[in-house]
A and B are shown apart, each in its own frame.
Chain A
Amino acid sequence: QVQLVESGGGLVKPGGSLRLSCAASGFTFSDYYMSWIRQAPGKGLEWLSYISSSTVYTNYADSVKGRFTISRDNAKNSVYLQINSLRAEDTAVYYCARGGNYLLSWGQGTLVTVSS
């Protein structure tokens, strides 16, 4: 079955950086666009970014453009999100998802907390 497992979250100070990872299994990873979405505590969903199956195309929400970078390694069945210059408002659960438009399946998420 499809599995997506995020890791790399944690407590980070404002201005810091993190690299989130998402390990995929149960499907042909290299066939699919992959996306990242976040959800602040008690709030709704915010789409962040997608990357095409071959890494040629990426797209970002304006709120994270220039600070976040999505990448993938098809040999490792993994997608990544590099997040820099973190702010308090970046505190959220970060989900990776299969798909680049509608999101077919989601991981359980990894919590990023930005606080001094």
Chain B
Amino acid sequence: EIVLTQSPGTLSLSPGERATLSCRASQSVSSSYLAWYQQKPGQPPRLLIYGASSRATGIPDRFSGSGSGTDFTLIISRLEPEDFAVYYCQQYGSSPYTFGQGTKLEIK
């Protein structure tokens, strides 16, 4: 099973700042089959990025994903108030599919 480790656990930033979230895999994720999701309290997750770098439909271009192999990054270029949430990465290149433990992005 591929273990995904997200860092940091909590990230405290202000609106307008740049956020960099990391997801590291215990083994190489085949074909960059990695996704990112955003979850706000009381809501289901929302797909942001798939294939490591492709934005899902309707996702603003301030969200970008990159990486390959075992190291992946989600960048939010300029934080908006609605971006403060928990972010999860997920690998779907190898069964069982697995999620990271999440990064909480909070307002500083």
Do B88 and A44 touch across chains, with their CB atoms under 8 A apart?
yes
Q: A45 touching B99 by the CB < 8 A rule?
A: yes
Given A44-B99, A44-B101, does the pair A101, B92 have CB atoms closer than 8 Å?
A: yes
Given contacts A103-B37, A103-B45, A107-B44, contact A44 B92 (CB under 8 A): no
Bound form: Cα–Cα A96–B96 in Å: 17
The answer, yes or no, to whether A59 is at the interface (CB within 8 Å) is: yes
- For residue A105, which residues in chain B have a CB less than 8 angstroms away from its CB? 47
Report the separation of the CA atoms of residues A61 and B46 in the bound assembly, to the nearest whole angstrom: 21
Chain B residues with CB under 8 Å of A80's CB are: none
A75 at interface, CB cutoff 8 A: no
Residues of A within 8 A of B37 (CB): 45, 103
Q: For the complex, give the distance between the alpha carbons of A45 and B45 in Å.
A: 9
Chain B, 75-102, contact with A by CB distance < 8 Å: what is the 0/1 string? 0000000000000101010011111111
* Bitwise interface map of B from 41 to 57 toward A, beta carbon under 8 Å scored 1, else 0: 00111110011000010
Cβ–Cβ contact B99 & A102, under 8 A:
no
Chain B interfacial residues counted at CB < 8 A:
23
Inter-subunit contact A106/B50 (CB<8 Å): no
Inter-chain contact A106/B46, CB cutoff 8 Å: yes
Chain A residues within an 8 Å CB radius of B100 = 44
Known contacts A44-B102, A45-B88, A59-B95; is-contact A102 B47 (Cβ 8 Å)? yes
On whether the beta carbons of B92 and A102 are closer than 8 Å, the reply is: yes
Residue of A44, A46, A61, A102 near B35 (CB, 8 A) is A102
- Residue pairs across A and B with Cβ atoms less than 8 A apart, 23 shown, are A44-B88, A44-B102, A45-B45, A45-B88, A45-B99, A47-B90, A47-B96, A47-B98, A60-B96, A62-B1, A95-B44, A101-B33, A102-B47, A102-B50, A102-B90, A102-B92, A103-B37, A103-B47, A104-B47, A106-B44, A107-B44, A108-B43, A108-B44
* Given contact pairs A47-B96, A47-B99, a sample of 6 additional A-B residue pairs in the complex whose CB atoms are under 8 Å apart: A45-B88, A62-B96, A101-B97, A102-B51, A106-B44, A106-B46
